[in-house]
Amino acid sequence: MIRVVMCSLMAALLLAACGGGGNEGDSEKAKLEGNVRIDGSSTVYPITEAVAEEFRTVSPRVKVSVGVSGTGGGFKKFCVAETDINDASRPIKPSEIEKAAEHKVEFIELPVAFDGISVVVNPKNDFVDHLSVAELRRIWEPGSKVRSWKDVRAQWPDREMKLYAPGVDSGTFDYFTETVNGKSGACRSDFSASEDDNVLVTGIAGDQYALGFFGFAYFDHNRDKLKIVAIDGSKGPIEPSNKTINDGTYSPLSRPIFIYVSAEAAKRPEVDAFVNFYLKSAAALVKDVGYVPLPEKVYEFAIARFGSRRTGTVYKSESDKSRTLAELMAP
């Protein structure tokens, strides 16, 4: 019985795989074999998993594996050539570039999606309409004097503000503190932290005077339990949404997330096929898993960048982090 079910399942899979192949290029892809080893950020993982899942129908014989060691943990393996691709929720750090150079690993940096860091409060909180970046900074900076909501704006109630944030090892925390407080990791220490963003959602949903931040997908799937706060980054208050994150108006709290491909591994046809497939299908797939696609132009730049095997990071100096991806990636 079991065998019959397995056989019919496999037959179905084979049929599905064959159905995908129409012309000659596709049948070539279907014959591809080999391994693609991926590790890195758990934030990027859902996208890479979705791409790997779809890639199965194109090149069923390529064995793709994806780990979740975190951006930093993944780079430790990537920089000594143990993996082919690293998922990263932040740009590569200078120390990691040095390590890669030591082991003669060259990398191609490719952005794949946006994540809009969302600042949220409890739905019962009826007084907060928006927060400016300066106010966020007063709340979150190291040694902050803000204890109650009244300390932020005088007309707000004198109720203790409970703070929730992702764990200090996460890329989300790094990006938020760097953007708001000016230095990655610099932050007051009296907040509830969790590596699991679902715990933050539960915490804020159960606490009327809470404030917290995390990735947009976690707000998007819990709209009934949370209230979003519009952020004023000097151009008026903007709420994060697929549109405002995609066109860059939700600034400065939207960040690009990346894959880093080893130039040596990219010489292998299965890695080359996988990365091209990734960049071509990313726009559709990132929406499925709760992220926001990059502008079309940026995907085109990324495909061109990978095609010409341009190595190195586009973030050459501190000021580059405030420029848009389209500007940075333009050939």
Partner 1 sequence: MTILADSRLRRRWAISGAFRWLCRGITMFGVLMLGVLIYQVAEAGLPWLDWQFITSLPSRFPEKAGVKPAIWGTVWLVALTALISVPVGIAAALYLEEYAHKGRISTFIEVNISNLAGVPSVVYGILGLAVFVRWFALGHSVLAGALTMSLLILPVVITSSREAVRAVPDSLRHAALALGSTRWQMIRYHVIPAALPGILTGVILSLSRAIGETAPLILVGAAVYIGFTPDSPMSEFAVLPLQVYEWSGRPQSEFRELAAAGILVLLVVLVVMNASAVYLRHRFQKGRS
Q: Which residues of the shown chain bind partner 1 in the complex (CB under 8 A)?
A: 5-6, 9, 35, 37, 39, 42, 45-46, 48-50, 52-53, 56, 62-69, 73, 77, 80, 82, 195-198, 215, 217-218, 220-222, 285, 288-290
Q: Measured from the CB of residue 129, what is the shortest distance to partner 1 in angstroms? A: 25
Closer residue to partner 1 in complex, CB, 149/277: 277
Choice between 63 and 137, CB closer to partner 1: 63
Residue 141 vs 197, nearer CB to partner 1: 197
Taking the least distance from each CB to partner 1, the nearer of 8 and 308 is 8
- Asked if omega into 60 is within 30° of 0 (cis), the reply is no
Q: Say whether 28 sits in a helix, a strand or coil.
A: helix
Token pair of 221, please?
């799937």
Smallest separation, CB 225 to partner 1 (Å): 11
Query: Shortest distance, CB of residue 26 to partner 1, whole angstroms?
Result: 18
What value, to the nearest 5°, has the Cα angle with vertex 152 and ends 148 and 155?
Answer: 90
**Nearer Cβ to partner 1 (61/243):** 61
Question: Please, what is the Cα angle at 201 between 195 and 203, to 5 degrees?
Answer: 90
Q: Judge residue 286's burial from the number of C-beta atoms within 10 Å of its C-beta, 0-12 exposed, 13-18 middle, 19 or more buried.
A: buried
Q: Which is nearer to partner 1, 194 or 244 (CB)?
A: 194
Minimum gap (Å) between residue 110 Cβ and partner 1: 19
DSSP output for 115-144:
EE-EEEE-TT--S--EEEHHHHHHHHSTT-
What's the sign of the alpha-carbon dihedral 296, 278, 324, 179?
A: positive
User: In terms of Cα–Cα distance, which of 136, 166, 324, 134 is closest to 245?
Assistant: 324
Q: How far is the CB of 234 from partner 1 (least distance, A)?
A: 29
Those residues whose C-beta lies under 8 Å from the C-beta of residue 15, and which sit 6 or more positions away, are: none
Tell me how far, at minimum, the Cβ of 193 lies from partner 1, in Å.
Answer: 15
Rg, Å, the chain Cα set: 22
Task: Report, in Å, the least distance between residue 141 CB and partner 1.
Answer: 28
Nearer to partner 1, 91 or 215 (CB): 215
Say how far residue 111 (Cα) sits from the centre of its chain.
9
